[in-house]
A and B are shown apart, each in its own frame.
Chain A
Amino acid sequence: MGSLEGKPAVAYELPDAAGHVHRMEDDRGHWLLLVFHRHLG
């Protein structure tokens, strides 16, 4: 896969550990850093 820099972010809808659902649109208007973990170990 090539770099996605300069392209629109991928929309998502995911629950957090507490069960609250997060959507990409929730953070529009703010910088967002998504940190993809390896296994939590």
Chain B
Amino acid sequence: MSQLRRVEQELESHDVRVKLVTFDANFLARAYVQQTHLSWPLLVDAERSLYQAYGMLRATWWQLYRPSSIVKYLGLAARGVLPGKPGEDWNQLGGDVLIDPAGIVRLHFVSTGPHDRPPISRILKLVEQV
């Protein structure tokens, strides 16, 4: 998310609208928006219908706890970003979908691990190509 926020103005200059999607409950979504001062809409997909429509995966135990993931968690913790609370669904993975002005999917990125995201440069390149 911090990666995206760093290029917020650049995305705006290319007329890219950003919408975040969560499966968490509405009250958690509201709290998240307040805590992070999020400027983009946070859509609540409680039924996960859009997650399923775009084939977002669920993580295996190994994907969550392999050494590279643990290193990432430690790095985040060092920056004050603590892991989720017990009871949260840690297995649902995310992803990114870039849709062009005609409504055609130009990037369909399904994360294969908790920290697997496409480079922002890839998104900007796709937008700039058209």
Interface of chain A residues 1 through 41 with chain B (CB within 8 A): 1, 3-10, 12, 14-20, 22, 24, 27-41
Chain A residues contacting B42 (CB-CB under 8 Å) are 16-17
In the complex, are the beta carbons of A32 and B99 less than 8 A apart?
yes
Considering the complex, give the chain A residue whose CB is closest to the CB of B88: A39
In the complex, are the beta carbons of A39 and B92 less than 8 A apart?
yes
Instruction: Point out which of A9, A24, A33 has the most chain B C-beta atoms below 10 A from its C-beta.
Output: A33
Chain A residues contacting B92 (CB-CB under 8 Å) are 38-39
In the complex, are the beta carbons of A22 and B41 less than 8 A apart?
yes
Neighbour of B53 across the interface among A10, A18, A19, CB < 8 A: A10
In the complex, are the beta carbons of B94 and A38 less than 8 A apart?
yes
Chain B residues contacting A14 (CB-CB under 8 Å) are 21, 43-45, 50
Neighbour of B44 across the interface among A17, A29, A34, CB < 8 A: A17
Chain A residues contacting B50 (CB-CB under 8 Å) are 10, 12, 14, 34, 36
A19 to B88, CA, bound (A): 22
B10 to chain A, nearest CB (A): 12
Considering the complex, give the chain B residue whose CB is closest to the CB of A2: B55
Beta-carbon contacts of B93-107 to A below 8 Å, as 1s and 0s? 111111111111111
Indicate whether B22 reaches chain A with its CB closer than 8 angstroms: yes
In the complex, are the beta carbons of B19 and A33 less than 8 A apart?
yes
Chain A residues contacting B107 (CB-CB under 8 Å) are 5
B15 to chain A, nearest CB (A): 5
Interface residues of A (CB under 8 A from B): 1, 3-10, 12, 14-20, 22, 24, 27-41
